Amino acid sequence: MSQASVQERQPDEVFNQSPPLENYNLFLEDAPLREALRREGGGWAEEQVSAFGELAGRAETLRLGETANRYAPVLRTHDRYGQRIDEVEFHPAWHELLRIGVAHEHHSLPWTHERAGAHVVRAALNMLRHQVDEGASCPLTMTFAVVPSLRLQPDVAAEWLALILSKEYDPRLIAAPEKRGVLFGMALTERQGGSDVQANTTRAAPLGKSGAGEEYRLEGHKWFCSAPMCDAFLTLARTEKGLSCFLLPRVLPDGVRNAFHLQRLKDKLGNRSNASSEVEFKGARARLLGEEGRGVQTIIEMVRHTRLDCAFGSAATMRRAVAEATHHAAHRNAFGKKLSEQPLMQNVLADLCLESEGATALALRLARGFDESPHDEGQRKFTRLATAIGKYWITKRAVAVVAEALECLGGNGYVEESAMPRLYRDAPLNSIWEGSGNVQCLDVLRAVSRDAGSLEIFIEEIHAARGVNKNFDNFTGRLERELSNPDQLETRARRLTELLALALQSSLLIRHAPPEVADAFCAARLAGDSGLVFGTLPANTNFGAIIERSRPKL
C-alpha cells in the first residue's frame, strides 16, 4: 500500500484488515486432503465429505466452536436439596456440535459402512469438524474407539452396539435402554500412576458370580476421566487376578444413578469446551469385559483407535492454523505489497504448508492401514508400528506449527477474537492424551521387538519411493544404519521415531505430491538444508506453488 493511498484515508476509516476466514468449503479448499481421500480409498464418499466441508466452513458453524469454548462446562455435584446429581452443564453450542458429529457418523462410520476406505472417510470428516472445535472430538473419538474392545464381550456388546451406532445425539442422563443414542468415555489413570496403569489401586469385587460379562462392585478413584457426561465408560480396576477392564454405566438399568461421583472438573490449559474430571467410585456397578487380569489387553484396541484420532486431530489443527495464516497474508498489505508477496513471509508460509501437507498424508495413510488391517497381516503389522510413530510426530509438530502460524497474523493473532489463541492452547493436548511422547516412542520399540516383521514391512513401504530423490535415498541409508545399531535403544527412542516419521512422510510425498512439495520437504527435513525454525527453506524453493495448494481461495 503506497504512502499516497494511506494519506487519502480518514483517521477513523478501517482498512487493510483481512476478512474473516468463513463461509467457505473446508474440504474443497484443501488440495492435500482431497487428494489423500481419493488416494487412500475414500473417493467413494467425496460428495459426502464435500457437503460436510461446506457445513463446517459456515460462519454459524465456526461460531459454535468459539462459543462452546468461551462458556466452559460447569459441574453440578448436588441439587438444591443436597442430593448428589453429578451432572455437567454445557452451553447449547456444545450440544449442537455433538449433534452434528453424531448425525454425520463421526463416531461410527467404519462400523456402519464396512467397506474399503471407511476409516479414511471418517478421518477426513473428523479433520473438517475438528477445525471447528477440538473438544467435541473427545467423546466422539472414544465412542468410535470403544467398539473393538466391546466386541470382545459379545453379550455386553449386544446390549450397547445399536445405541453406540445410532445417528441421534441424546444428552439426557437416563438409563441407556430408554435413550436414542449413547456416548462413551474412558477413565484409566490414577493420581499416583498416570500412564503407569499398573500402579492403579481401584478395586473390583464380584457381586455374585465372577468372570467375563458378570457384574462387579468398584471402589476407588480416577485422576482423569474424559468426557464425564457420557453414558458409559471403560475403566480399569484390580481384581484378585489383576488389572481388569470394566464397562461402567452412568445410570443403571432400573434408572438409579450409579455411584460414579464427580469430584471436580479439571481447569485445563485448552480443550475448554470439553469437560475432563476427577471421579470417585463408591460401590459403582460395572460389567467385566474379557478375562480378569487382562484389562490392558482388552482395552488396548480402544487406545489404539484413539491414537489414530490424535494423529489426524493434530493434522487438522495444523490445517486450520495454516489456512488462517495463508488467508491473512493474502489480504494484508505491509511495506508496499501483500504479505504473501514478501519473500521472507513466503518462506515461512511455504514451510508451514509443507508440515501440514506431510501430516495430512501420514494421517490418512494410517487410516487406510486401519481399513486394511483386518484382512491383511502386513498392513496390521505396518499400522501397529506406524500409529505410534504418527501419533508421536504429528502431535509434536502441531505445537510448533500453530505457534508460527499465530505469529504470521502478528498482534491480531494473539487476541482472543481470532481463532489462533484457542488453537495454540489446544495444540499440546493430543501429544499428552493416550500416551505422551515417551510412551509412544517406547511403544515403537515394543512393536519392533515383539511383532516380528513390522519394521521390515514399514521399511518396505518407505523404500517404495527410492530412486527419485537423492536426499531421500541418502536419508534412508542413514536411517538403516541407525536402526542396525543396538546400543542404548531406549535412550535413542525419540531420535529413531523421528527418523522413521520423516522417512515415511517423505516417501508419501515423493510418491503422491507435486515435485515442488516433495523436493522442498526432503531438502528441508532430510538433507539438513534448513534451520531449526520455520521459514528457513532453501532460497530456490518454489514457495508460490506450495502455498497455493494450501491457501483458501477467498
How does residue 554 score in pLDDT terms, banded at 50, 70 and 90? confident
Domains of the chain in sequence order? 148-154+176-295 (2.40.110.20), 296-554 (1.20.140.10)
Is the separation of the CB atoms in 216 and 207 below 8 Å? yes
Block residue for cell numbers 468461551? 70
Q: What is the pLDDT of residue 5?
A: 72
Contact assessment for residue 55 and residue 27, using Cβ atoms and an 8 Å cutoff: no
CA–CA separation, 113 and 461 (whole Å):
27
Q: Residues with Cβ < 8 Å from 145, sequence gap 6 or more?
A: 301, 302, 303, 304, 305, 306, 309
Yes or no: say if 524 and 538 are a contact pair by the CB < 8 Å rule. Answer: yes
**Residue-level pLDDT at 21:** 97
pLDDT for position 1: 59
Location of C-alpha cell 477513523:
12
- By the 10 Å C-beta count (0-12 exposed, 13-18 middle, 19+ buried), 114 is classed as exposed
Kindly state the average pLDDT of the residues 72-98. Answer: 97
pLDDT of residue 550 exceeding 60, the answer is yes
pLDDT score for 540? 94
- Rounded to whole angstroms, the Cα distance separating 334 from 319 reads 24
490-536: pLDDT as tens digits: 999 999 999 999 999 999 999 999 999 999 999 999 998 888 999 99
Stretch 141-154: mean pLDDT, rounded? 97
- Indicate the burial class of 206 (C-beta count within 10 angstroms; 0-12, 13-18, 19 or more): middle
pTM summary value: 0.96
